[in-house]
Amino acid sequence: MRIKVLLLAGAVAFGAGPVMAGEPSDWVRCDGLAKPENAAVTLGRLVPAIMTAGLMGLPEASREAPAAQGSDGVKACDTVLADPMLDRYWARKVNLLKARALHQVEAGNLDAALADLTATHEVAAGNVDDATFARSLGASTQLFEAATKLKKERFDEASALAIKAADARPYSLEVGLAAVRILNVDPRWSPDKDRVLTRVAALEPDLLVARAQSREWGGQYAAAAADWSAAADSQASSLGDIGLPRGFTLPATTGDPVFVARAALAFARAGQNAQAGPLIARFKAAAAAPPAADDKDRLASLAATLRANQAKTAQRFITVAEAWVQVNDGKIDEARATLETLNNELPATPATLDLIQKLRPPTPAGMVSLAPSGVAQMEMLMASNRTDALKRLDPASFAKALPPLERADRSYSKQSAWFKPNGFKDKKTADGKGASIEFSGAFSTHAAVEEMMLLRAAQLARDAGKPGFVIRKRADYQQYMVQTMYGAEISRSANGFKTTAEVQFVDTPPEVADGLVFNADKVWNDLSPIYTTPAQGKS
């Protein structure tokens, strides 16, 4: 999933918010937020602010990000964390410790960052029942700690923290994706990891491939094959991360050659030649008649070129799949000859290693094989995967994208003409079997907007008398209010988030749908106490 940018048109505005004067305080330098104050202090500011038209008495403005970084940020946090007033604001103290940990990472001191993140446990210990904290800042702190521990190669501890954070907010794709980034560094499969990947795939169908890859590492090839096959028949594509100018998208197609090839290989490795054969034939038929480039349609031409390049990569998986089919049929010599056509360009997958072990000639009696064992080769492959993934993971940028501390959010309502960007709107799909839903929130966090979209989907499914619903496609946007002068942009400011989805209502009992169907009653019962009033139980 990629968060898209949505610009809301505006004109030059005046008095949009508090004006920052002078140097930011250490509070803002540390975590970007103004110094906390009680109601009496706020009231004391109100009179001079009114009397001077806002020239005096205004509080310091908070920022989207800390005003300092690295060692300067650490110093600012040291100062404010020594303030005894924080004893009254435990959640803010957690946020400041998390901020100092971020600055420690920026300064290259991972051990000090872990010490601060560990210290948050004690600060929050007496407030573990605070659901709002646990689902926002609590989960974010756990994910940040997990990312930092990964850099120290403490894989088991990192995975446990990521799973705990994902379980604290199971309906948020934002939190789930962050957890998956941690979990996927270590290829080892576990039931808990599979559970998180299943939830993420239910929230965003394009991410079913992550579960497929994980299940291959766990040796569950039949289950992995079913996931790869479903991805191949959907509009998901390995081209999805191709960057295009705003407003442009690649044509929607099915039959991604990489997914077809991976499905064929997984079925063949599972010993299911009857399922692998048609997929191999499908791949070859598509390769023999690729879509022609269209000079008049540049995007279609780009898609055709990219798809052809993907097919070249996918061919390696198809070759290994064909070799496995031959092994399953007892044609060992033919399988060796097939595999040799790849020379040293073998795809680095568990199924490939298994095949090499199968085709390795037996060691003569009385001789000792110097070749590494299959277990040793698998460990080397997993270690290589971990090394590559760790190089791509930056704990600092990872932490900056995590959800902030939330307040109670009761903004679940229908959009109106007066407050258009806030709330939901929906309509039935053309086939009448579901709904297209949009939820916008100018004052809600991204995770809250996601959840309120799901809450609306559950409400509509219940109204339709259906026990479950499936997300067919979705998109997530970060909205900005853009100020212009004479048609030219002069500034922009964040204006909340929007999530859209197309859902289908289903009769399939959620418990037998491999985790990809949402139980409408459960979603409503879990989320409605957070976002609705009792009167909103019906549409």
Please state, in angstroms and rounded to a whole number, the distance separating the CA atoms of residues 165 and 250.
34
Residue 346 contacts residue 265 (beta carbons within 8 Å): no
The verdict on 213 and 330 lying in the same domain is yes
Residue 26 lies in a domain: no
The verdict on 339 and 435 lying in the same domain is no
Residues sharing a CB contact under 8 Å with residue 392, sequence separation 6 or more, in sequence order? none
Residue at 448: amino acid letter = A
- Which DSSP symbol is given to 414? B
Residue 65 lies in a domain: no
Secondary structure of residue 367 in the 3-state scheme: coil
Residues sharing a CB contact under 8 Å with residue 499, sequence separation 6 or more, in sequence order? 438, 439, 449, 450, 453, 474, 475, 476, 477
The verdict on 436 and 330 lying in the same domain is no
The verdict on 228 and 323 lying in the same domain is yes
Residue 510 lies in a domain: yes
Please state, in angstroms and rounded to a whole number, the distance separating the CA atoms of residues 135 and 403.
9
The token pair that represents 6 in the structure block? 């949505």
The verdict on 449 and 337 lying in the same domain is no
pTM of the complete model: 0.83
The verdict on 327 and 459 lying in the same domain is no
Residue 449 lies in a domain: yes
The last residue of a domain, from among 301, 319, 347: 347
Residue 523 lies in a domain: yes
The last residue of a domain, from among 294, 329, 347: 347
Q: In 3D, which of 137, 86, 78 has the Cα closest to residue 104?
A: 78
Please state, in angstroms and rounded to a whole number, the distance separating the CA atoms of residues 13 and 491.
10
At residue 417, φ and ψ (nearest 5 deg) are -65, -30
* Token pair 């023999």 in the structure block, residue: 288
Residue 24 lies in a domain: no
Q: What is the pLDDT of residue 211?
A: 95
Please state, in angstroms and rounded to a whole number, the distance separating the CA atoms of residues 27 and 33.
6
Please state, in angstroms and rounded to a whole number, the distance separating the CA atoms of residues 277 and 297.
35
Please state, in angstroms and rounded to a whole number, the distance separating the CA atoms of residues 539 and 531.
14
| Total domains, the chain | 2
Q: Count of CB atoms within 10 A of residue 410's CB?
A: 11
Beta strand 3-11 with 468-485: parallel, antiparallel or unpaired?
parallel
Residues sharing a CB contact under 8 Å with residue 224, sequence separation 6 or more, in sequence order? 211, 212, 213, 215, 216, 266
Residue at 268: amino acid letter = A
Residue at 200: amino acid letter = V
State which residues form the domain around 470: 424-532
Residue 396 lies in a domain: no
Residue at 312: amino acid letter = K
Residue at 409: amino acid letter = D
Q: Count of CB atoms within 10 A of residue 296's CB?
A: 6
The last residue of a domain, from among 316, 347, 378: 347
At residue 485, φ and ψ (nearest 5 deg) are -135, 120
Per-residue pLDDT of the chain (539 residues; tens, 9 = 90+): 556 655 555 443 333 334 345 689 999 999 999 998 654 444 343 343 344 343 434 467 788 789 899 999 999 999 999 999 998 899 999 999 999 999 999 999 999 999 999 999 999 987 766 788 889 999 999 999 999 999 999 999 999 999 999 999 999 999 999 999 999 998 889 999 999 999 999 999 989 999 999 999 999 999 999 999 999 888 655 544 444 444 445 445 567 899 999 999 999 999 999 999 999 999 999 888 776 666 666 666 666 677 777 888 899 999 999 999 999 999 999 999 999 998 878 888 899 989 988 888 664 554 444 445 555 666 777 777 787 878 888 999 999 989 888 876 667 788 765 555 688 899 999 999 999 999 988 778 899 999 999 999 999 999 999 999 999 999 998 877 778 887 788 777 777 889 999 999 999 766 656 789 999 999 999 999 988 865 555 44
